[in-house]
Amino acid sequence: MTDSHLPSHIVGIKVRVSGRLMTERSQPRKTVQSVQVGSFSKNNLSLVDMASYSTKNKKGAFTVKVWISQRATK
């Protein structure tokens, strides 16, 4: 195994799905489901990237948001 010196590593990931999902019956558009693994500490060595994607299905619109937390190595 090689010793790699990366400038940062992932310490947490969070996914949020909101809107009307295909698996639900007639739910309100305020439906939100979230899952988080790892930590999202707010110190000077952390960096949080966020991306979102919105689209439509037969029931209406929904949005998927993803956050990735990285910690810089010294």
pLDDT of residue 52: 95
pLDDT of residue 2: 59
Strand order in the sheet with 60-72: 32-38, 8-19, 60-72, 46-57
Give CATH for domain 8-72.
Answer: 3.30.1140.32
Domain ranges of the chain: 8-72
Residue 62 DSSP label: E
User: Would you say 46 and 70 are in contact if contact means Cβ atoms under 8 Å apart?
Assistant: yes
Q: Within a 10 A sphere around the Cβ of 31, how many other Cβ atoms? A: 13
pLDDT tens for the chain, 74 residues long, are 556 677 778 889 999 998 877 665 665 656 788 899 988 776 666 788 899 999 988 877 889 999 998 887 76
Task: Record the pTM.
Answer: 0.72
